Structure 1
Amino acid sequence: MRAPFQKFGDHPPVASEITPREMFESRRDFIRQMALGSIASAGLLEMAQREVFAQNAGAKLAAVSNPSYISLDKKTAYKDATSYNNFYEFGTDKSDPAETASSLKTRPWTVTIEGEVKKPITLDIDSLLKLAPLEERVYRLRCVEGWSMVIPWIGYSLSNLLKKVEPTGNARYVEFISLADKRQMPGVNRPVLQWPYTEGLRMDEAMHPLTLLTLGMYGEVLPNQNGAPVRLTVPWKYGFKSAKSIVKIRLTKDQPRTSWNVSAPDEYGFYSNVNPDVDHPRWSQGSERRIGEDGFLTRKRKTLMFNGYSEVASLYSGMDLKKFY
């Protein structure tokens, strides 16, 4: 049988060995405060991590795959899709955006929707993310320069946003205006185009289910060089129609001026549908090279009308698409 007080030694504890109640209570309060401080510090750390996470192009973005938009084409490798880009706000070379777009701050970010609407609004990026269920759609993207990619985009039909602002009967076009900040975007300091970058669609084009308000790609938020934090993806039109880093959407009665049409009206029309029968003055549009497919020795593939998205053909019934290029 173990003797009483054996855990203290061979003798009962004396007063000097007993912690005074006041000290015990104060020590317990001290430990409680330390624990609360640790929790608070952890909370602050978590907040800081969330902010970094929000700025990080590798942040995951959950979306449900839409079976109506699954391409049988092999997807372009993420590395190729994020290192070979046209984004003149960050430079004119294809490699410039990946090298310089880290200066873009995507939080905080707001998009204003105004013009011929009954309910103009300004939404932050988190509100845009929650506006409608996010879908993953695998779209082909065709560039006017003769190259193409196949990318799993994340977003939802632009019509979800446009319906929210209730367009008036005068709304015939939709204008998209990109950020033009000389401090964040080195290319804006050069007069390559008239800044800010502006694009536009006819109202029925903007409302078509294929037109995607895009917030991510490859299961992640958009990388800066691909148009973060919100861009447009219009898969049946040449890539320059898909405005990047959008800060304003304006519904208008008159056809908006668009950046490339203003810069070179003989080369870039307002519609800019993928049409293999209408050549660019400097490039044939009859064929294309898929980026990432064994380099420049790869045999070119035939370009399809509307980039293969024949479901939009009815939008242009009766139009001469050689005249309205």
Structure 2
Amino acid sequence: MLIKPLDDIPSAEITPESIYQERRRFMRNGVNLMIATTVGVTNTTLFSAPVVAKGVDPSSAINLPIDFPHLKPSAFSTGEQSTPFAKITAYANFYEFGTDKSDPQRYAQTLTTRPWSVQVVGEVEKPGVIDMEEILRKFTLEERIYRLRCVEGWSMVIPWVGLPLSELIKRFQPTSKAKYVQFSSLLDPKQMPGQEDRFLNWPYTEGLRIDEAMHPLTILSVGLYGRVLPHENGAPLRLVVPWKYGFKSIKSIVKMRFMEQEPLTSWIEAEPRAYGFYANVNPTVPHPRWSQKKERRIGEFFKRNTLMFNGYAEQVSSLYTDMDLRKYY
């Protein structure tokens, strides 16, 4: 990554103060962040808003209703201890609902997640639309316990429920020109009040190279901890790419476009010197404002060393052979 002197950086490439201050607040209040917000749930149906019930402690999965009782276990799962459900839902980035880490849990219940469909267009033989009910009915779901690493220096271990993205992609038959796939989130400021703030050019977009999208580690998640995906964590459908930083995991997906050229993504457009297209976890490439060599697991006080490709180097390093990972960051 090339880092220019501050005077050479155009104002359009500077992170908004509200986001920067939020990241600084995390570092100041690291100890307090270990105390998770206690939330509860009553029985839910798929895609319904979670209902808070007093006195129920979901800090472990024991008290949670199970929406997916017959999940296929995955050989890709890490053996590390999962982050408690309450901490996963109480501390999240979902800027469509605000820039504070607690905003998604506070405001995301305005999102209507049923009916929901995903449009598939571009360089595919069979463009079309697929709805969530069909995804749940026709694809085999499994639980994958993945690390999630955020660029600000924190990490979690989450038991995702999902399906390999490659299985969905095959259905639409990408052409030989399909080198990339771009994902778009829902654009609806009435449901997503954070979109009234124009620090990003909505809708939120992200992208993968086609071989990354087809890699067996890449999944579309519809849930976590055996239950339907909470609104604050990207309901009803989000991307999970475990060897990349969390901002690559676009939430509330409504569109996939297959392209010959590398797509423009939201964070490249907003701050290209900090957020590259690849977003691979790489402790040797610093963010312009902080090092990436260490991370703090949510719920822990001491930091740990950041692993190359978030610990998935054995599985994915071959995707980037002969690439300069400081240039293609």
**Aligning the two structures, in what range does the TM-score lie when normalised by the shorter sequence?**
0.7 to 0.9
> What percentage of residue pairs aligned between the two structures are identical?
57
- The CA distance in 2 between the partners of 1:171 and 1:116, in whole Å, is 5
The equivalent of 2:174 in structure 1 is: 167
Secondary structure of the corresponding residue to residue 146 of structure 2: strand
- The CA distance in 1 between the partners of 2:190 and 2:206, in whole Å, is 22
- The CA distance in 2 between the partners of 1:56 and 1:89, in whole Å, is 17
The equivalent of 1:143 in structure 2 is: 150
Q: TM-score, normalization: structure 1?
A: 0.81
The equivalent of 2:303 in structure 1 is: 300
State whether structure 2 residue 267 is matched by structure 1 residue 267: no
| 1:63 Cα offset (Å) | 4.5
State whether structure 2 residue 58 is matched by structure 1 residue 55: no
State whether structure 2 residue 240 is matched by structure 1 residue 233: yes
Count of aligned positions: 273
Amino acid at match of 2:328: F
> Residue 93 of structure 1: which of 100, 115, 125 is its match?
100
Measured against aligned partners, the alpha-carbon deviations of 1:2-30 in whole angstroms (never above 9, x if no partner) come to: xxxxxxxxxxxxxxxxxxxxxxxxxxxxx
CA contact (8 A) 1:63 1:136 kept: no
Secondary structure of the corresponding residue to residue 184 of structure 2: strand
Q: How does 1:3-22 map to 2 (within 5 A)?
A: none
| 1:224 Cα offset (Å) | 0.4
Secondary structure of the corresponding residue to residue 248 of structure 1: strand
Measured against aligned partners, the alpha-carbon deviations of 1:118-171 in whole angstroms (never above 9, x if no partner) come to: 001201111111232100000000000000000000111100010000000100
Q: How does 1:14-53 map to 2 (within 5 A)?
A: none
Amino acid at match of 1:114: V
Comparing both structures, which one devotes a greater share of its residues to helix? Answer: 1
Structure 1 portions without partners, runs of 5+: 1-49
- The CA distance in 1 between the partners of 2:207 and 2:277, in whole Å, is 8
State whether structure 2 residue 206 is matched by structure 1 residue 202: no
- The CA distance in 2 between the partners of 1:218 and 1:95, in whole Å, is 20
Measured against aligned partners, the alpha-carbon deviations of 1:201-240 in whole angstroms (never above 9, x if no partner) come to: 0000000000001111000010000000000000000000
CA contact (8 A) 2:47 2:235 kept: no
The equivalent of 1:322 in structure 2 is: 326
| 1:299 Cα offset (Å) | 1.3
Q: TM-score, normalization: structure 2?
A: 0.80
Measured against aligned partners, the alpha-carbon deviations of 1:171-224 in whole angstroms (never above 9, x if no partner) come to: 000000001211100100111200000000000000000000111100001000
Amino acid at match of 2:326: K
CA contact (8 A) 2:46 2:228 kept: no
Amino acid at match of 1:308: G
How much is the aligned-residue C-alpha RMSD, in angstroms? 1.6
Q: Name which one, 1 or 2, has greater alpha-carbon Rg.
A: 1
- The CA distance in 1 between the partners of 2:69 and 2:224, in whole Å, is 10
- The CA distance in 2 between the partners of 1:63 and 1:91, in whole Å, is 35
Measured against aligned partners, the alpha-carbon deviations of 1:62-97 in whole angstroms (never above 9, x if no partner) come to: 342434122121110000000100000000000000
CA contact (8 A) 1:234 1:242 kept: yes
Structure 2 portions without partners, runs of 5+: 1-42, 51-64
Secondary structure of the corresponding residue to residue 55 of structure 1: coil
CA contact (8 A) 1:113 1:250 kept: yes
